[in-house]
């Protein structure tokens, strides 16, 4: 079976975000970009399923501008077999992203689509659920453990109440949470080898996907800042301060 993995290019999670003063968005010029951390986990899980003999092929997919190929190269260096670049310079929101992934799943017929639970730029946490809805497939979101047995995946999910397990018939969409695994480090020879792996480039038009109605971003602003507080010198001083505020 095949596994399709979503890989999004996002501002690296270590970068301190600067909001453009004119409200037009977040500064991305010259900012370090990386694979969305949840997608690294998704790629790793797909590779582990392959290494365990549960899958034959891992295909990494990105939707985005030309530069997103860097993230596909990372996925290939990790061990993905091939990659598909849906090239577009337009902003792609989750519903359109899900339509694109649906078009690709129709073409590739993977048994599992493995995505991150959220992209850490827009923090939407929607694409996996939307793709599952459009395909009328099961969804197992926020996965912290995936066990594939034949045509069923038992997925443990991190939910507010604890850990939930769902049994889903394949094909299914699974979204990765942080504790699913620890992604491997990419070694230099793997990066060299990955250069020879194929990346297929397609457009929205090739896939016959139209942009869905989108949410319009009117402005972007800096969040309200908390007032800087004070350092207290002792436990007594802390207790006095909290008592004064009526908190203890």
Partner 1 sequence: MSKVLIIAEHDGANLNGSTARAVTCAQGIGADSVDVAVFASDGSAVAGQVAALSGVSTVLQIDNAANEQAVAAILAPQVQALASDYSHVLVPSTTFGKDLAPRVAALLGVPQISDIMRVESATVFDRPIYAGNAVTTVEAPAGIVVGTVRTASFSAADAGGSATVEKREVSAELPSHTRFVKLETSGGGDRPDLQAAAKVVSGGRGVGSEENFKVIYDFADKLGAGVGASRAAVDAGFIPNDHQVGQTGKIIAPELYIAFGISGAIQHLAGIKDAGTIVAVNKDPDAPIFEVADFGLVADLFEVIPELEKALG
Ligand X SMILES: Nc1ncnc2c1ncn2[C@@H]1O[C@H](COP(=O)(O)O)[C@@H](O)[C@H]1O
Please identify, using beta-carbon distances, which residue of 69 and 156 lies nearer to partner 1: 156
Q: What is the contact mask toward ligand FAD in residues 175 to 214, using x (rule: CB under 6 A)?
A: ---x------------------------------------
CB 71 within 8 A of CB 9: yes
Return the one option of ligand X, partner 1, ligand FAD, none that residue 197 interacts with (CB less than 5 to 8 A, by type): none
Q: Which is nearer to partner 1, 188 or 230 (CB)?
A: 230
For residue 29, the partner it binds in partner 1, ligand FAD, ligand X, none, with Cβ less than 5 to 8 A by kind, is none
Q: Identify the three-state secondary structure at position 185.
A: coil
- Residue 217 contacts partner 1 per CB under 8 A: yes
Rule CB under 6 A: choose which of 15, 120, 166, 212 binds ligand FAD.
120
Catalogue the long-range contacts made by 94-98 (C-beta closer than 8 Å, 24 or more residues apart).
Answer: 94/124, 94/126, 94/127, 94/130, 95/126, 95/130, 95/212, 95/213, 95/214, 96/209, 96/211, 96/212, 96/214, 97/63, 97/127, 97/130, 98/126, 98/127, 98/130, 98/131, 98/133, 98/134
Cβ 233 to ligand FAD shortest distance, Å: 16
Give the span between the Cα atoms of 44 and 125, in whole angstroms: 19
Are the C-beta atoms of 66 and 203 separated by less than 8 Å? Answer: no
Choose the one of ligand X, ligand FAD, partner 1, none that binds residue 183, judging by a C-beta under 5 to 8 angstroms depending on kind.
none
| Interface residue with partner 1, options 56, 107, 109, 159 (CB under 8 A) | 159
- In angstroms, the first-to-last Cα distance of the chain is 59
* Residue 36 binds: one of partner 1, ligand X, ligand FAD, none (C-beta under 5 to 8 A by kind): ligand X
Q: How far is CA 50 from CA 3, 45, 81, 148, in A?
A: 9, 9, 10, 11
The nearer residue to partner 1, 188 or 224, going by C-beta atoms, is: 224
How far apart, in whole angstroms, are the C-alpha atoms of residue 95 and residue 64? 15
List residues near ligand X by CB under 6 A: 6-8, 36, 38-39, 42, 61-64, 92, 94, 97, 115-116, 118-119, 122, 124-128
Structural contact between residues 7 and 101, judged by C-beta atoms closer than 8 angstroms: no
Residue nearest to ligand X (CB): 116
CB of 239 to ligand FAD, least distance (A): 18
What is the footprint of ligand FAD within residues 23-42 (CB under 6 A)? 37
> C-beta of 19: minimal distance to ligand FAD in Å?
20
Q: Are 145 and 115 within 8 A, CB to CB? A: no
Judged by the rule CB under 6 A, the positions of this chain that interact with ligand FAD are 13, 37, 120, 178
């Amino acid at each position: 079976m095949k596994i399709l993995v979503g890989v999004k290019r996002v501002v690296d999670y270590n970068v301190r975000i600067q909001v453009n003063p004119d409200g037009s968005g977040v500064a991305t010029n010259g900012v370090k970009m990386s694979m969305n951390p949840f997608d690294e986990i998704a790629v790793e899980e797909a590779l582990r399923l392959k290494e365990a003999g549960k899958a034959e092929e891992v295909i990494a997919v990105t939707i985005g501008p030309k530069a997103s190929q860097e993230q596909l190269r990372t996925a290939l260096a990790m061990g993905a077999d091939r990659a598909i670049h849906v090239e577009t310079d337009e902003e792609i929101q989750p519903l359109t992203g899900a339509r694109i992934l649906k078009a690709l799943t129709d073409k590739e017929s993977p048994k599992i689509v493995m995505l991150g639970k959220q992209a850490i730029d827009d923090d939407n946490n929607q694409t996996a659920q939307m793709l599952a809805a459009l395909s009328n497939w099961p969804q197992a979101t926020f996965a912290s453990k995936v066990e594939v047995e034949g045509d069923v995946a038992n997925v443990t999910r991190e939910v507010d109440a604890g850990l939930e397990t769902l049994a889903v018939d394949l094909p299914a969409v699974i979204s990765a949470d942080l504790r699913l695994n620890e992604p491997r480090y990419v070694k230099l020879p793997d990066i060299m080898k990955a250069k020879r792996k194929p990346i297929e480039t397609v457009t929205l038009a090739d896939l016959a996907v139209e942009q869905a109605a989108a949410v319009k971003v009117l402005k972007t602003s800096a969040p309200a800042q908390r007032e800087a507080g004070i350092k207290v010198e002792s436990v007594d001083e802390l207790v006095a301060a909290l008592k004064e505020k009526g908190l203890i």
